[in-house]
Structure 1
C-alpha cells in the first residue's frame, strides 16, 4: 500500500499523458521517447506540506568510443568526456521555470549517466521542463561529436538529422 502523503497527484499523471514525448514506464516513471538515448523521468511529491512535485531526470548517453567504428585514443575519450560534462552541467536557461540545478555526470564503462532534477508547483511546466532537460542533454551530446570519425547508432542518425535540419552542410 502506498503512503497517501507521497502519492503522486493525478494532475501530474495527466500532464505526462498530455505531453507527446513521454510514455509510462512504472507507477511514477516515464520514458522520454523522442530522444535517441535512454531517458527517464520519475516524479514524486516533495515532503511535508509542499505542494510541488520533484521531477528526477536520468539520461544515459554512450561514450565517444562506444559509438565509433574505429578506435578512439584514451586521451581523446577523456578530453571529450570532460568537455561534455562541463557543457552539460551549464544547464541554466533551458527551462520555462526559474530553477537552480545541481546536475551530476557519472562515467561507467561505455556509458555516461546525467542526472538532473527540477521541482515545480505547475505540473505541466514541470513535465515540459523535464523534457527540455532531456533535449538539452541530447543537444549537448550532438554538439560535442568530433568530426572525422565514422559513427554508429544512434549517433549516425543524430548527425544525419542535424545535417538535414541545418541545410546539409559538411561534417
Structure 2
C-alpha cells in the first residue's frame, strides 16, 4: 500500500500518472514502474520508493544486427555509468542500482528511502531522467535506430534545429 503522503505527492505532481501498478513518469520515452511502500512503524521516513525503468537492449533498438561483443560492452558501459545515478537525488539512503538484462530488455532497478514525500517524488523524476540521459549517451553512431532510441534521437535533432534558429543561441 502506498503511503498517503507519497500518494498525494505523486498525484499532485504534473509529471506522473497513476498506473495499475503504481505510477508512470510522463516525461520519458521509456516504460517505468514506480511504487512506494509504507515505512515500518519505528522508521521516521515517509516510505521506500522502488523504480524500474525498462530499456531496449542495443540489438532491440537497432534495425541492424549487433555483434554480441558490442552488445555486452554496451551493457557493461551502461552499468558503470548508472553507478552515479543517485548523485542527482536528494536522498542519501538508497540501495545500489541493479541492472538486469535479457534478450530484448534491460531493467534498471532503483530503491531508496523518501525521508520527505515531495522530495522523494522529485528524486523519482530526476532518477528516471538520469537513466534516460545515460541511455541516450550510449547510443552508438552508425546504426539505424527504432522505437524509443529513435524517438530520443529525433527529439535531440528537433531541439538542435530549434536552437539553431534562435538569434541569441550559442553557435555550434
Q: Under a length normalisation based on structure 2, what TM-score does the superposition of the two structures give?
A: 0.86
Deviation of the 1:14 alpha carbon: 1.1
Is 2:143 the counterpart of 1:149? yes
Higher helix proportion: 2
Shift in Å at residue 161 of structure 1?
A: 1.1
Which of these residues, 24, 27, 37, is aligned with residue 31 of structure 1? 24
Residue 121 (structure 1) aligns with:
115
Q: Tell me, which stretches of 5 or more residues in structure 2 are unaligned?
A: 165-172
Q: Is the 8 A contact 1:91 1:101 kept in 2?
A: no
CA distance in 2, matches of 1:161, 1:126: 28
Quote the residue 2:76 is aligned against. Answer: 82
Q: Secondary structure at the match of 2:129?
A: helix
- Which aligned pairs between 1:1-171 and structure 2 lie closer than 5 A? 7-26=1-20, 29-52=22-45, 53-166=47-160
Query: How far apart in 1 are the matches of 2:115 and 2:34?
Result: 16
Cα distance in 2, alignment partners of residues 9 and 54 from structure 1: 9
Q: Distance in 2 between matches of 1:43 and 1:9?
A: 7
8 A contact 2:2–2:35 mirrored in 1: no
CA distance in 1 between partners of 2:43 and 2:17 (Å)? 26
Q: Which ranges of structure 1 fall in alignment gaps of 5 or more residues?
A: 1-6
Per-residue Cα deviation, 1:63-122 (whole angstroms, up to 9, x for no partner): 001011111111111111111111112213211333444110010111001001121221
Contact residue 52 and residue 108 of structure 2 kept, 8 A: yes
